[in-house]
């Protein structure tokens, strides 16, 4: 069955380019990003893995661990990582799961046979510290993902988790946020000392609370 938002992210143990990972234990209290790649030594994947390596500091700042999965062996991953480092000016500094038997790919429904025979499509799962799935997305093999967008979503998810705000269309760091509908307007001043604007009774905006 498909994994839905709010589900517990399925746990697994897998070999990776950095040793054995027990997923839930490895996550600990961190957030996590699990993302799949169709195959080693493929061009779009090479650029994506390099970008994630160069963004590792941004993920660390947000207490997020990143974990890639590709349906090839550890030895294959290690050779490919050398190419990624060379061509993308990076050091791949996070584990890549070796999934030749497609155990993780199947567990997370990452193989969409009508799109790509026997290989994973490009999926992303963001998992919270409670191990629940907070976001899932699926891209075709031919379109590289935008990892700035993944960071933007993480910022939004963490604001919601910590401050009871949501983020409006095209929100970026520093932009005003939406007070969640569960908060009554009369309770806003106590919770949001930076103030708020009532555009409509159901649309209440407040400055980003963590700045
Ligand atoms: C790629 O990563 O470049 C790729 C992989 C599978 C199909 C198409 C592109």
Residue 1 has pLDDT above 80, yes or no: no
Q: Are residues 91 and 192 in the same domain?
A: no
53 and 136 assigned to the same domain = yes
pLDDT at 118: 86
* Active-site option among 14, 27, 33, 45: 45
Q: Sorting pLDDT into bands at 50, 70 and 90, what band is 11?
A: very high
State how far the Cα of 36 lies from the Cα of 14, in Å rounded to an integer: 14
Q: Is residue 37 part of a domain?
A: yes
Q: How many domains does the chain have?
A: 2
Q: What is the CATH number of the domain that holds 188?
A: 3.30.1020.10
> What atom in ligand 1 is closest to the CA of residue 43?
3
- pLDDT, tens digit (0-9, with 9 covering 90-100), for 110-146: 999 999 888 999 999 999 999 999 999 999 999 999 9
* Contact criterion met (CB below 8 Å) for 115 and 38: no
Confidence at residue 92, expressed as pLDDT on a 0 to 100 scale: 98
CA of 131 to the centre of ligand 1 (A): 30
Mean pLDDT score, 93-104: 97
Paired strand residues for 97: 16, 69
Do 83 and 185 lie in a common domain? Answer: no
pLDDT in tens, 152-209: 999 999 999 999 999 999 999 999 999 999 999 999 999 999 999 999 999 999 999 9
122 and 41 fall within a common domain: yes
Distance of alpha carbon 155 from alpha carbon 167, whole angstroms: 9
Instruction: Report pLDDT for 137.
Output: 97
Continuous segment of H or E residues that includes residue 86: helix 74-88
CA nearest ligand 1 atom 7, residue: 141
Q: Please provide residue 14's backbone torsions phi and psi, each rounded to the nearest 5 degrees.
A: -145, 150
- Please give, one letter per residue, the 3-state secondary structure of 148-185: HHHHHHHHHHHHHHHHCEECCCCCCCCCCEEECCCCCH
Return the pLDDT at 157. 98
Q: Is 45 a catalytic site residue?
A: yes
pLDDT at residue number 121: 94
Question: How many angstroms separate the alpha carbon of residue 115 from the centre of ligand 1?
Answer: 12
Q: Which tens digit of pLDDT belongs to each residue from 14-65? A: 999 999 999 999 999 999 999 999 999 999 999 999 999 999 999 999 999 9
Ligand 1 centroid–CA 47 distance in Å is 11
């Amino acid at each position: 069955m498909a994994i839905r938002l709010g589900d517990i992210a399925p746990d697994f143990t897998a070999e990776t380019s950095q040793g054995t990972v027990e997923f839930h234990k490895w996550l600990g209290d961190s957030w996590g990003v699990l993302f799949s790649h169709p195959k080693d030594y493929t061009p779009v994947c090479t650029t994506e893995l390099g970008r994630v390596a160069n963004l590792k500091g941004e993920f660390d700042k947000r207490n997020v661990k990143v974990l890639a999965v590709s349906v090839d062996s550890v030895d294959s991953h290690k050779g490919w990582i050398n190419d990624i480092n060379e061509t993308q000016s990076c050091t791949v500094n996070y584990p890549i799961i070796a999934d030749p038997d497609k155990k993780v790919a199947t567990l997370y429904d990452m193989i969409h046979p009508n799109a790509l025979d026997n290989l994973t499509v490009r999926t992303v799962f963001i998992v919270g510290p409670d191990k629940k799935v907070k976001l899932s997305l699926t891209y075709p093999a031919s379109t590289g993902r935008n990892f700035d967008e993944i960071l933007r979503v993480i910022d939004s998810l963490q604001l919601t988790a910590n401050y009871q705000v949501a983020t409006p269309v095209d929100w970026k760091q520093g932009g005003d946020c939406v007070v969640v509908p569960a908060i009554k307007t009369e309770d806003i001043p106590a919770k949001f000392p930076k103030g708020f604007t009532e555009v409509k009774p159901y649309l209440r905006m407040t400055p980003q609370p963590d700045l």
